[in-house]
Protein backbone atom coordinates (compact mmCIF):
# COMPACT_ATOMS: atom_id res chain seq x y z
CA UNK A 1 0.00 0.00 0.00
CA UNK A 2 1.16 3.54 -0.73
CA UNK A 3 0.49 5.84 2.24
CA UNK A 4 1.07 9.54 1.57
CA UNK A 5 1.75 11.18 4.94
CA UNK A 6 1.84 14.78 3.73
CA UNK A 7 -1.18 16.31 1.99
CA UNK A 8 -3.57 19.20 2.48
CA UNK A 9 -7.20 19.67 1.63
CA UNK A 10 -8.68 23.09 0.94
CA UNK A 11 -12.44 22.48 1.05
CA UNK A 12 -14.92 25.08 -0.20
CA UNK A 13 -13.06 28.33 -0.96
CA UNK A 14 -16.07 30.44 0.10
CA UNK A 15 -15.42 29.29 3.67
CA UNK A 16 -12.12 31.22 3.66
CA UNK A 17 -13.81 34.27 2.18
CA UNK A 18 -16.09 34.20 5.22
CA UNK A 19 -13.06 33.81 7.57
CA UNK A 20 -11.23 36.67 5.86
CA UNK A 21 -14.27 38.86 6.40
CA UNK A 22 -14.07 38.12 10.13
CA UNK A 23 -10.36 38.97 10.18
CA UNK A 24 -11.18 42.36 8.69
CA UNK A 25 -13.52 43.35 11.53
CA UNK A 26 -12.49 45.10 14.74
CA UNK A 27 -13.37 44.40 18.36
CA UNK A 28 -12.11 42.10 21.06
CA UNK A 29 -14.24 39.01 21.00
CA UNK A 30 -16.83 38.05 18.46
CA UNK A 31 -19.29 35.29 17.99
CA UNK A 32 -18.22 33.17 15.06
CA UNK A 33 -20.99 31.43 13.21
CA UNK A 34 -20.35 27.99 11.85
CA UNK A 35 -19.92 28.28 8.10
CA UNK A 36 -22.43 25.93 6.50
CA UNK A 37 -21.94 23.91 3.32
CA UNK A 38 -23.36 20.69 1.97
CA UNK A 39 -21.60 17.35 1.51
CA UNK A 40 -22.21 17.81 -2.21
CA UNK A 41 -20.26 21.08 -2.16
CA UNK A 42 -17.44 19.43 -0.23
CA UNK A 43 -17.35 16.54 -2.72
CA UNK A 44 -17.20 19.02 -5.55
CA UNK A 45 -14.17 20.72 -3.96
CA UNK A 46 -12.47 17.32 -3.56
CA UNK A 47 -13.05 15.87 -7.02
CA UNK A 48 -9.86 17.10 -8.74
CA UNK A 49 -7.78 16.24 -5.66
CA UNK A 50 -9.02 12.66 -5.57
CA UNK A 51 -8.46 12.19 -9.31
CA UNK A 52 -4.90 13.53 -9.19
CA UNK A 53 -3.87 11.41 -6.23
CA UNK A 54 -5.45 8.20 -7.55
CA UNK A 55 -3.67 8.69 -10.89
CA UNK A 56 -0.25 8.21 -9.25
CA UNK A 57 -1.28 5.10 -7.33
CA UNK A 58 -1.56 6.57 -3.83
CA UNK A 59 -4.05 4.58 -1.79
CA UNK A 60 -4.27 6.48 1.47
CA UNK A 61 -3.47 10.10 2.34
CA UNK A 62 -2.99 11.75 5.71
CA UNK A 63 -4.73 15.06 5.09
CA UNK A 64 -4.49 18.28 7.10
CA UNK A 65 -5.70 21.86 6.60
CA UNK A 66 -3.74 24.11 4.23
CA UNK A 67 -0.80 25.92 5.88
CA UNK A 68 -2.49 29.32 5.49
CA UNK A 69 -5.84 28.14 6.92
CA UNK A 70 -5.07 29.03 10.57
CA UNK A 71 -4.76 32.83 10.97
CA UNK A 72 -1.91 32.81 13.52
CA UNK A 73 -1.27 36.51 12.95
CA UNK A 74 -4.65 37.63 14.32
CA UNK A 75 -4.40 38.96 17.87
CA UNK A 76 -7.78 37.56 18.94
CA UNK A 77 -7.31 34.08 20.26
CA UNK A 78 -11.00 33.20 20.08
CA UNK A 79 -10.99 33.91 16.36
CA UNK A 80 -7.96 31.69 15.79
CA UNK A 81 -9.58 28.93 17.86
CA UNK A 82 -12.93 29.15 16.03
CA UNK A 83 -11.42 29.13 12.56
CA UNK A 84 -9.08 26.26 13.44
CA UNK A 85 -12.01 24.22 14.77
CA UNK A 86 -13.96 24.80 11.58
CA UNK A 87 -11.07 23.79 9.28
CA UNK A 88 -10.43 20.69 11.40
CA UNK A 89 -14.14 19.86 11.17
CA UNK A 90 -13.89 20.19 7.38
CA UNK A 91 -10.97 17.71 7.31
CA UNK A 92 -12.96 15.25 9.45
CA UNK A 93 -15.92 15.55 7.06
CA UNK A 94 -13.63 14.70 4.11
CA UNK A 95 -12.51 11.57 5.95
CA UNK A 96 -16.11 10.62 6.67
CA UNK A 97 -16.92 10.91 2.96
CA UNK A 98 -13.84 8.92 1.89
CA UNK A 99 -12.77 6.62 4.69
CA UNK A 100 -10.92 4.37 2.26
CA UNK A 101 -8.80 7.26 0.93
CA UNK A 102 -8.24 9.77 3.75
CA UNK A 103 -7.11 9.89 7.38
CA UNK A 104 -7.13 13.15 9.37
CA UNK A 105 -4.28 15.16 10.83
CA UNK A 106 -5.37 18.20 12.85
CA UNK A 107 -4.15 21.78 12.93
CA UNK A 108 -3.69 23.64 16.22
CA UNK A 109 -4.83 27.16 17.11
CA UNK A 110 -1.37 28.62 17.79
CA UNK A 111 -0.48 32.25 18.40
CA UNK A 112 2.89 33.86 19.02
CA UNK A 113 4.17 33.64 22.59
CA UNK A 114 0.74 32.71 23.97
CA UNK A 115 0.64 29.55 26.09
CA UNK A 116 -0.52 26.41 24.35
CA UNK A 117 -3.72 25.87 26.37
CA UNK A 118 -6.08 26.37 23.41
CA UNK A 119 -3.92 24.12 21.23
CA UNK A 120 -4.03 21.33 23.81
CA UNK A 121 -7.82 21.57 24.12
CA UNK A 122 -8.20 21.36 20.34
CA UNK A 123 -5.86 18.35 20.26
CA UNK A 124 -8.10 16.50 22.69
CA UNK A 125 -11.18 17.33 20.62
CA UNK A 126 -9.46 16.34 17.36
CA UNK A 127 -8.38 12.94 18.67
CA UNK A 128 -11.46 11.95 20.65
CA UNK A 129 -14.22 13.51 18.51
CA UNK A 130 -12.75 13.83 15.02
CA UNK A 131 -10.49 10.77 14.92
CA UNK A 132 -7.26 12.65 14.10
CA UNK A 133 -4.15 10.47 14.31
CA UNK A 134 -1.56 13.27 14.38
CA UNK A 135 -1.02 17.02 14.08
CA UNK A 136 0.72 19.69 12.13
CA UNK A 137 2.98 21.85 14.31
CA UNK A 138 3.67 25.40 13.20
CA UNK A 139 7.21 26.13 14.48
CA UNK A 140 6.77 29.88 13.93
CA UNK A 141 3.28 31.08 14.88
CA UNK A 142 4.81 34.56 15.26
CA UNK A 143 5.20 34.63 11.48
CA UNK A 144 8.78 35.80 11.55
CA UNK A 145 8.72 37.53 14.97
CA UNK A 146 11.06 36.51 17.78
CA UNK A 147 8.43 36.14 20.54
CA UNK A 148 7.95 32.39 20.18
CA UNK A 149 10.85 30.33 21.58
CA UNK A 150 12.34 27.68 19.30
CA UNK A 151 11.11 24.09 19.50
CA UNK A 152 13.89 23.04 21.88
CA UNK A 153 12.50 25.35 24.57
CA UNK A 154 10.34 24.32 27.52
CA UNK A 155 7.61 26.60 26.15
CA UNK A 156 6.69 23.63 23.95
CA UNK A 157 6.77 21.00 26.74
CA UNK A 158 3.00 20.96 27.42
CA UNK A 159 2.51 20.15 23.72
CA UNK A 160 5.08 17.34 23.78
CA UNK A 161 3.52 15.95 26.96
CA UNK A 162 0.10 15.90 25.29
CA UNK A 163 1.47 14.32 22.10
CA UNK A 164 3.03 11.49 24.09
CA UNK A 165 -0.08 11.03 26.25
CA UNK A 166 -2.35 10.82 23.17
CA UNK A 167 0.27 8.89 21.16
CA UNK A 168 0.05 11.31 18.24
CA UNK A 169 3.02 12.40 16.11
CA UNK A 170 3.57 15.98 14.96
CA UNK A 171 4.60 17.18 11.51
CA UNK A 172 6.72 20.34 11.61
CA UNK A 173 5.20 22.49 8.87
CA UNK A 174 5.41 26.21 8.03
CA UNK A 175 2.27 28.31 8.36
CA UNK A 176 1.18 31.79 7.28
CA UNK A 177 3.92 34.39 7.04
CA UNK A 178 4.21 38.08 6.38
CA UNK A 179 7.66 38.62 5.04
CA UNK A 180 8.10 41.00 2.18
CA UNK A 181 11.60 39.76 1.48
CA UNK A 182 11.23 35.99 1.80
CA UNK A 183 9.17 33.86 -0.59
CA UNK A 184 7.25 30.78 0.63
CA UNK A 185 9.94 28.61 -0.91
CA UNK A 186 12.49 30.00 1.55
CA UNK A 187 10.24 30.50 4.55
CA UNK A 188 8.81 27.00 4.92
CA UNK A 189 12.02 25.02 4.70
CA UNK A 190 13.91 27.58 6.76
CA UNK A 191 11.47 27.53 9.68
CA UNK A 192 11.11 23.74 9.52
CA UNK A 193 14.90 23.41 9.65
CA UNK A 194 15.14 25.95 12.48
CA UNK A 195 12.61 23.90 14.46
CA UNK A 196 14.45 20.63 13.80
CA UNK A 197 17.95 21.97 14.52
CA UNK A 198 16.64 23.36 17.81
CA UNK A 199 15.22 19.95 18.75
CA UNK A 200 18.52 18.29 17.85
CA UNK A 201 20.39 20.71 20.10
CA UNK A 202 17.99 20.33 23.05
CA UNK A 203 17.19 17.73 25.69
CA UNK A 204 13.61 17.30 24.38
CA UNK A 205 14.13 13.67 23.31
CA UNK A 206 15.83 12.84 26.61
CA UNK A 207 12.81 14.34 28.42
CA UNK A 208 10.27 12.76 26.01
CA UNK A 209 11.81 9.55 24.65
CA UNK A 210 8.50 8.52 23.04
CA UNK A 211 7.91 11.80 21.23
CA UNK A 212 7.49 11.38 17.46
CA UNK A 213 8.22 14.35 15.23
CA UNK A 214 8.39 14.46 11.43
CA UNK A 215 10.20 17.28 9.67
CA UNK A 216 8.28 18.35 6.57
CA UNK A 217 9.59 18.92 3.04
CA UNK A 218 12.44 16.44 3.24
CA UNK A 219 13.80 17.88 6.48
CA UNK A 220 14.28 21.34 4.98
CA UNK A 221 17.98 21.82 4.33
CA UNK A 222 19.13 19.45 7.08
CA UNK A 223 20.37 16.57 4.87
CA UNK A 224 22.25 19.00 2.64
CA UNK A 225 23.92 20.85 5.52
CA UNK A 226 24.64 17.95 7.87
CA UNK A 227 28.39 18.37 7.38
CA UNK A 228 28.42 21.77 9.07
CA UNK A 229 26.24 20.38 11.86
CA UNK A 230 28.77 17.58 12.41
CA UNK A 231 31.50 20.21 12.70
CA UNK A 232 29.62 22.15 15.37
CA UNK A 233 28.73 19.03 17.35
CA UNK A 234 32.23 17.54 17.18
CA UNK A 235 33.64 20.75 18.64
CA UNK A 236 31.02 20.61 21.41
CA UNK A 237 31.79 16.92 22.06
CA UNK A 238 35.45 17.77 22.54
CA UNK A 239 34.38 19.92 25.49
CA UNK A 240 31.60 17.60 26.70
CA UNK A 241 32.16 13.92 25.77
CA UNK A 242 28.73 12.96 27.18
CA UNK A 243 27.01 14.56 24.17
CA UNK A 244 25.68 12.27 21.43
CA UNK A 245 26.77 12.70 17.81
CA UNK A 246 24.69 14.97 15.58
CA UNK A 247 23.80 11.97 13.43
CA UNK A 248 22.27 10.32 16.48
CA UNK A 249 20.31 13.50 17.22
CA UNK A 250 19.20 13.75 13.60
CA UNK A 251 17.96 10.17 13.68
CA UNK A 252 15.63 10.92 16.60
CA UNK A 253 13.46 12.76 14.07
CA UNK A 254 11.51 11.50 11.06
CA UNK A 255 11.43 13.09 7.61
CA UNK A 256 8.94 13.03 4.75
CA UNK A 257 9.90 12.74 1.09
CA UNK A 258 8.30 15.99 -0.09
CA UNK A 259 11.19 16.84 -2.44
CA UNK A 260 10.60 17.22 -6.16
CA UNK A 261 13.99 16.13 -7.40
CA UNK A 262 15.62 12.71 -7.84
CA UNK A 263 19.00 13.55 -6.27
CA UNK A 264 17.38 15.32 -3.31
CA UNK A 265 15.18 12.33 -2.44
CA UNK A 266 18.19 10.05 -2.69
CA UNK A 267 20.34 12.32 -0.51
CA UNK A 268 17.64 12.49 2.16
CA UNK A 269 17.29 8.70 2.42
CA UNK A 270 21.07 8.20 2.41
CA UNK A 271 21.73 10.77 5.14
CA UNK A 272 18.89 10.14 7.60
CA UNK A 273 18.37 6.42 6.90
CA UNK A 274 15.53 4.39 5.40
CA UNK A 275 13.93 3.84 8.81
CA UNK A 276 13.46 7.61 9.33
CA UNK A 277 11.74 8.35 5.99
CA UNK A 278 7.98 8.52 5.42
CA UNK A 279 6.51 8.77 1.96
CA UNK A 280 4.92 12.19 1.41
CA UNK A 281 4.00 14.15 -1.71
CA UNK A 282 2.15 17.34 -0.66
CA UNK A 283 -0.14 16.51 -3.57
CA UNK A 284 -1.93 18.41 -5.02
CA UNK A 285 -0.08 21.69 -4.60
CA UNK A 286 2.53 23.76 -6.39
CA UNK A 287 4.47 20.60 -7.32
CA UNK A 288 1.59 19.41 -9.49
CA UNK A 289 3.17 20.94 -12.62
CA UNK A 290 4.54 18.62 -15.30
CA UNK A 291 8.30 18.28 -15.57
CA UNK A 292 9.06 18.45 -19.31
CA UNK A 293 12.09 16.18 -18.83
CA UNK A 294 10.04 13.26 -17.45
CA UNK A 295 6.48 14.05 -18.54
CA UNK A 296 5.38 13.45 -14.94
CA UNK A 297 4.24 15.87 -12.25
CA UNK A 298 7.13 17.04 -10.04
CA UNK A 299 5.22 15.87 -6.97
CA UNK A 300 4.81 12.34 -8.35
CA UNK A 301 7.34 11.11 -5.77
CA UNK A 302 7.09 7.34 -6.08
CA UNK A 303 9.16 7.05 -9.30
CA UNK A 304 12.08 8.87 -7.60
CA UNK A 305 12.12 6.24 -4.86
CA UNK A 306 11.61 3.37 -7.30
CA UNK A 307 14.64 4.60 -9.27
CA UNK A 308 17.06 4.37 -6.32
CA UNK A 309 18.90 1.18 -7.14
CA UNK A 310 20.46 0.53 -3.74
CA UNK A 311 17.07 0.33 -1.97
CA UNK A 312 15.80 -3.19 -1.24
CA UNK A 313 12.14 -4.24 -1.49
CA UNK A 314 12.00 -4.14 2.30
CA UNK A 315 13.37 -0.58 2.24
CA UNK A 316 10.73 0.49 -0.25
CA UNK A 317 7.96 -1.11 1.80
CA UNK A 318 9.25 0.76 4.88
CA UNK A 319 9.21 4.13 3.08
CA UNK A 320 5.88 3.66 1.30
CA UNK A 321 3.94 2.09 4.17
CA UNK A 322 5.76 0.43 7.07
CA UNK A 323 7.33 3.50 8.66
CA UNK A 324 4.05 5.43 8.48
CA UNK A 325 2.27 2.59 10.30
CA UNK A 326 4.99 2.53 12.95
CA UNK A 327 5.07 6.30 13.52
CA UNK A 328 1.33 6.93 13.25
CA UNK A 329 0.39 4.12 15.60
CA UNK A 330 -3.27 5.19 15.61
CA UNK A 331 -3.41 4.43 11.88
CA UNK A 332 -4.00 0.75 12.59
CA UNK A 333 -7.09 1.49 14.62
ZN1 LIG B 1 2.51 20.78 3.19
Query: What distance in Å separates the CA atoms of residue 190 and residue 185, rounded to the nearest whole number?
Result: 9
Mean pLDDT of the chain: 95
Confidence of residue 18 (pLDDT cuts 50, 70, 90): very high
Contact 250, 218 (CB under 8 A): no
Calculate how far, in angstroms, residue 237's C-alpha sits from the geometric centre of ligand 1.
35
Mean pLDDT for 249-258 is: 98
Checking if the pLDDT of 29 tops 70, the result is: no
Please, which residues bridge with residue 9 across strands? 65
Calculate how far, in angstroms, residue 192's C-alpha sits from the geometric centre of ligand 1.
11
Q: What is the pLDDT of residue 36?
A: 97
Calculate how far, in angstroms, residue 284's C-alpha sits from the geometric centre of ligand 1.
10
Calculate how far, in angstroms, residue 69's C-alpha sits from the geometric centre of ligand 1.
12
Contact 168, 133 (CB under 8 A): yes
Q: What is the pLDDT of residue 333?
A: 64
Calculate how far, in angstroms, residue 77's C-alpha sits from the geometric centre of ligand 1.
24
Phi, psi at residue 135, to the nearest 5°?
-140, 160
Span 160-187, pLDDT tens digits: 999 999 999 999 999 998 877 877 788 9
Span 110-163, pLDDT tens digits: 998 889 999 999 999 999 999 999 999 999 999 988 899 999 999 999 999 999
Classify residue 48 by burial, with Cβ atoms within 10 Å: 0-12, 13-18, 19+: exposed
Span 200-245, pLDDT tens digits: 999 999 999 999 999 999 999 999 999 999 999 999 999 999 999 9
pTM of the predicted protein model: 0.97
Amino acid sequence: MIIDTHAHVTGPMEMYEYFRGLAGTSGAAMRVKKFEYSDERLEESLAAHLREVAAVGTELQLISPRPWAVPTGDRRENLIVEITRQVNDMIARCVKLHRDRFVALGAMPQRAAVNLKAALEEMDRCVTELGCIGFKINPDPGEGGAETPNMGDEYWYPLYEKMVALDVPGLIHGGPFRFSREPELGYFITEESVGAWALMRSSVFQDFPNLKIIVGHGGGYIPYQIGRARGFRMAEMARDPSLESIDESMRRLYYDTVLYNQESVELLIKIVGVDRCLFGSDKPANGSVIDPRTGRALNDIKPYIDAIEWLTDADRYAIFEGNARKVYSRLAA
